[in-house]
A and B are shown apart, each in its own frame.
Chain A
Amino acid sequence: MLRPAYWLPFVLLLVVLGLGWELGARHVPYLFAPLGDIAGVLTGDPGYFVSNTLVTLSEALVGLGIGFVAAFALAVVVSEVGVVRRAVMPVAVVLSVTPLVAIAPLLVVALGFGMAPKVVLTALVCFFPILINVAAGLRAVPGPVLQVYRTVAASRLEVLRHLRVPASLPYVFASLRIVFPLSLIGAVVAELSAAGSADGLGSVIQVASSQNRLATVWAAIFVLAALGSLLFWLVTLAERRVLHWHES
């Protein structure tokens, strides 16, 4: 068991935040809903939240999957071909700091109200952080190591497979820790932009806030927070498994 010195500060903060929240709910009722109401909404119709969570989660994960495969493939090309690297990387850096979620409304117009714009937006926001990290990781093999393997005439494919890809794994996980939460943002923003026409927690928030059902809005946000934390935790867990050789 952990000593109180570890969990007590956190629990205390939680209590303070809870009290502050209740105070806020009393004085700014158009922004906060009482915690009791939020819990009531969640327990009142858990199936509603579960099904909408699954919709958002699947949009996020499918988008992330597509973004990951595409970004990894391009990262390999970028790390192997200098010309491509010098062309692509400056653009990638600019786009990775651009809030790409802003194009959500355009994607909805172009791709309709189905799953497509959500998946595309999620893939897009995940793409550049993965590309930049993995491209750096694939080039993180120290010079002397490369020289040892070039001295035995290892082919580029062998260098890629035996040296570059394993060396990139810490970078892959660093990018996943950024991109898993980001994928939820992508999916939710796309849902918010799709004006209440489909399922998903973003749509729940959109509809409920237009009808002034604050407790539902907050319930959906709390579910998203929990979901994001869960994904982050899963990445960290997988990282510990795979990267037991890595110091950090």
Chain B
Amino acid sequence: MKDKKHLSVSAIENGTVIDHIPAQNLFKVITILGLDRIPNQITFGTNLESKLLGKKAIVKIANKYFERDEINRIALVAPHAKLNIIRNYEVTEKMLVEVPNDIAGIVKCVNPKCITNDEKVTPKFKVVDKNGVSLKCHYCEKITDQEHMEYL
């Protein structure tokens, strides 16, 4: 039997479905992937029940496929996100987001006195907590947590 979610997933002919986004981070995912700046047809649902996340969001983007690096950019706000690649109404591939060990050029360092906020230096971080996702700056050694993440 097909459940409701499955039906909505099947509703696009070609494209990508991103599932298991924490509801409160939906708009961050949209911004990070630049979905607010593309002409593609996009539908999303939010505040859906989720055993894993409490409330989750789901986004469906028609005629759009993502590269691995692009997708890992959302690892910081949606570490458990799952992607379904749809071709001709069929899920042809599934991808999980991977939280990388190192991150460069995606997030700003929270420390205003950091060299990365003072001169043209690409911010680099070590991921010190993969579940809550917090980042230790390679340069100033300060921690940038979820709450203070600002995207480049």
> Do chains A and B stick together as partners?
no
